Amino acid sequence: MVPTISENDNVPVSAVIIDMDEPYVQKILESVFAKYSPIVVTAPQNGHPQAKRLMHWREYERIDWDAVHRSTSVFSNAYCFRKGLIRKAQMSFNLRLYTAKHPESILVRGVPETWILELDDIDYLDEALMECYEVENEMKDNEGVDPVERTQFILKPSLTGRGAGIHIFDTRARLESLLEKEFESDNEEEEEEEEEEGEQRQNGTSSYEAVSQIREWVVQRYISKPLLLSAHGDRKFHIRVYALAAGDLSVYVYRHMLALFAPEPYAQSASNLDNQAAHITNTCVQEKHKGFDESKAVELFWNLKMPQQKLESIFDQICKILSETFAAVSSESTSFQAWSNCMEQFGFDFLVDENYSAFMLEANAYPDFKQTGERLKSAVEGFMAASAATAAESFLLDKETIPDGMRQTIEKDKMDLVQVFTHKISRKW
């Protein structure tokens, strides 16, 4: 419930509740907000603070959405409705609608061709592939072709992140095998849940209902010829881009991007689709690899060994793609709503091919900042500082009365944010 506070009440002008599961993130946020002394920084165990302006910086499910929705003085670190961006299938659908209306958009080239695969049982794969007939036709064309020359695809669960459930395939037989394993895994989990529910039914505490669940994946055309840098061991890498969306709606890209490398060289395993150590670049997957070395797994983008003009070109492409992406998803209000009293940090994954063309692979809410590790923790601290400065300036402080010293701090902390989109001028970049 939103407290009613008059202007004469002796309460803090502003407060922020920081309530994150990951201590790595919690500590950084507490540190970066501490520099804005008028803002009271508190944790949920200290009770619900009264303040004239209150911000929830919490895990999504613990945000007081009723208060955020009803009050212009309560703010949050997430948007309530944003599945049109963070769910792979929904984003693919929105981008397809947008590019149909804007065939000149960079998204036509800057996002791998994507299909949506819905399936509730492996026996109905034929019917499901009717919606992905291009994929089926190219799998047929791959039969009898040298594996090195085959067209490859990547299969991703629509709702998961951090590299979970990702597989690469090039034939119908391999796709069936991968899906069978996915359904077997699901069935084992369902059996365990049913056993638990059975015990609860005996105790009269169960609310279980059997429901047939449709599984949803996206299938993307695999970029089989990624950019490989000899100075970095000819290993495949993807670029993690942190973006901040604020209000209704301005979007900023944080310049200090990260390059996340697979542990093994790519070329000799290009056709060995089972070798995740060469194909999958997510750090949370590669941490399980024998001999994992954090110092070789993550690097600052601007420190990659390639010509400066190439780095600048890649960054420019990324900004243009993200500008168009937010233009696309924000135009679909049923799946993305940018409330004026909300902001959110997103993590985007990009891949660069051998021709230095950048491709957006996916978007993630609540990105896994910890995968950056300790060595490059400063990159995360910088993005958090920029986000806190944006929250302070936009939501928690009175812009007209911010002291000069604090205004300089805000400007300094925001200096590495590059604005790429705003609704006021449609496309910024």
The predicted structure's pLDDT at residue 424: 64
To the nearest whole number, what is the mean pLDDT of the chain?
Answer: 88
Question: Which pLDDT does position 162 carry in this prediction?
Answer: 57
> What local confidence, expressed as pLDDT, does residue 287 receive?
63
Q: Among 63-67, 185-189, 239-243, which is the least confidently predicted range?
A: 185-189
- Output the pLDDT for position 268: 73
Confidence category of residue 3, pLDDT binned at 50, 70, 90: very low
What is the per-residue pLDDT for 242?
Answer: 98
Is the distance from CB of 368 to CB of 375 less than 8 angstroms?
Answer: no
Q: Mean pLDDT, to the nearest integer, of 118-123? A: 90
Segment 142-168, tens digit of pLDDT: 998 998 899 999 999 887 655 567 899
What's the first-to-final CA gap in the chain, in angstroms? 40
Percentage with pLDDT > 70 across the chain? 85
**pLDDT (tens digit, 9 = 90+) per residue, 344-379?**
999 999 999 999 999 999 999 999 998 887 889 999
The least confident of 76-80, 130-134, 189-193 is 189-193
Backbone angles phi, psi at 263, to 5 degrees: -75, -20
| CB-count exposure of residue 274 (10 Å: 0-12, 13-18, 19+) | exposed
Q: 272 is written with which tokens?
A: 């060995």
In this predicted structure, what is the pLDDT of residue 277?
86
Mean pLDDT on 384-399: 95
353 to 7, 153, 314: CA distances (angstroms): 57, 15, 11
What gap in Å lies between CA 418 and CA 386, rounded to an integer? 11
How far is Cα 226 from Cα 356, in angstroms, rounded to an integer? 9
- Rounded Cα distance between 122 and 175, Å, is 10
Confidence check: pLDDT of 428 > 80: no
Bigger pLDDT: 217 or 200? 217
Q: Give the separation between CA 75 and CA 69, rounded to whole angstroms.
A: 9
Give CA–CA dist 362/347, Å, rounded: 8
Q: What is the mean predicted confidence (pLDDT) over 29-39?
A: 92
Given this model, what pLDDT does residue 6 score? 43
Single-letter residue type at 128: A
Burial of residue 228, with CB atoms counted within 10 A of its CB: 0-12 exposed, 13-18 middle, 19 or more buried: middle
| Residue 251 in this model has a pLDDT that exceeds 80 | yes
- Could you report the per-residue pLDDT of 281-338, keeping only the tens digit for each? 876 666 666 666 777 889 999 999 999 999 999 999 999 999 999 999 999 999 999 9
Range of weakest confidence among 137-141, 191-195, 422-426? 191-195
